[in-house]
Structure 1
Amino acid sequence: MKRHSYPTLNALAVADLMASLRSTPFWMSLAWSDILQRYRGSLIGPFWLTISSGVFIFGLGPLYSALFGLDVKKYLPFMSLGLLVWGFLTGVINEACRAMLDNASMMKQVKLPRTLFIFQLVARNFMILLHTLPVFIIVFFYCDLSLSLNMLLIVPGAVLLLANMFWISLLLSIVCARFRDLTQIVSSILQLSFFLTPIIWNPRTQHAPSWIVDLNPLYALIQLLRAPLLGEPLSLKVIAMAGFCLIVGGAFTAWLFSRARKQIVYWI
């Protein structure tokens, strides 16, 4: 079997990525079609996501604020955004574990870029996140929050978040296609991470070891959206952690993808 040199493998991987970027309208349409298919026959369609998220947040918010002894109007915005962004992160990560496996038949029959399915996956879950953000708008007015220029940081924060979620998804899709048992391991790690990550508890008002916050990449990814929407600036620690993850994780994933791209179709 012919073996490709490293420069050739890298060029093929870059070509795969560029082909996916040129096909943006295609995978965006696929992502939206996936959502519509999921709610086919429903009267309000994807907005069931908004209702279910709203019921969950307004049900648990007052309860946890009472348990923690906090003012509900100060606690609810933090918790609601934490849960909404966490839902996006876990949705992407869990689906990424089966991204290649779920598209196996299409990959074997049609010549498509491997990264196209990753873009589709991230886009689909981001659209779901956007459908749940009206819940925060209700929280915003209920808790008497005010607009701030810091909210404009949501744009670079979202870009940095999506870039990180892309390499995480691509990495998991490759390793889980090769080692199927990793899917269950990832799911278990996410369950534990929910309690270790400041989602329903706030490190500013509740005591916790500083390393749990400072060295937690999931917290940094959540804060990329939560901090701007709360009118807070993005801290240097959050930016540094998210940037470090993007550079190191992205570089490793690029190396792995360039060498595993050809074998993926045989693993699935």
Structure 2
Amino acid sequence: MNTFRFGVNMTVPGSRAEWVDKCRKTEDLGYDVLSVADHLGMQAPFPALVLAGEATERVRLNTFVLNTPFYNPVLLARDVAGTDQFVDGRLDLGLGAGYVKAEFEAAGIPFPGAGERIDHLQRSILELRRLFADPDYQPRPAQHGGPPLLIAGWGRRLLTLAAAHADIIAFAGASANREGKLEGLADIDALAERVEFVRAALGERVGKVDFNILVQLVAITDDRQGLLERLRPYAPTLTLEQLGQLPTLLVGTAKQIAEQLRANLERFGLNYITVLEHNLETFAPVIELLR
């Protein structure tokens, strides 16, 4: 994979009109994928994506990512297939193991250990594949065999699962502790180790799977060093040089950021870049440089 794809992960709730406007802006700015996060207090992913499909013509539509332990796999299959029908086969299905303990508690769902959550994710993937392979299954997804599968995570067991099943592997860039809190952004050496681990696990599928990274911040500035100094709290144990290498923080002129992304593509195969909604317009000049 050597062609860039660019996505934005929508996280800010709003009215129907505001949502439609944001979806159209995403397409107009040149993004390839419009994603919806799955957190309480935000839009429900599937209806949001159906409306996004009505408001747009070209972009792929993605869940980034579902808290899979919230979902019964059979009921999830119905929502996935119906949504894929209604967006004319533009759906990508992003799945994760879930990590925010407070959301499980708010939903009245026990918060399992990491191993149990990954077990549920694996069962869900296998059930979706089984149902979508059944010629008698209804509703039928628009895409044969169901939507392309994105699996996001950072731990070795989850990445092993992703290497076995995913069309897109999303590197979270941070690990979560037992309480479901992210423990800081991983440095460039940690990313290199995870990428090599996944490449080995992919075997013959190397080069056939997209590698995604979720960027936490994009800052266009002529004073890169000064801004990096102010961003030290993101990764207080890193040097300024190491901080500037983080693939999850993009700081500098649009040209400098484009060069960093080209370097990350060459070294790690990171060809699919997703930014958060608050960076929707900020990142657009970088997209123009990389087309």
Taking structure 2 as the reference length, the TM-score comes to 0.26
Larger Rg: 1
Taking structure 1 as the reference length, the TM-score comes to 0.28
More helix by share: 1
**Higher-RCO chain (CA-CA 8 Å, sequence separation at least 6):** 1
More strand by share: 2
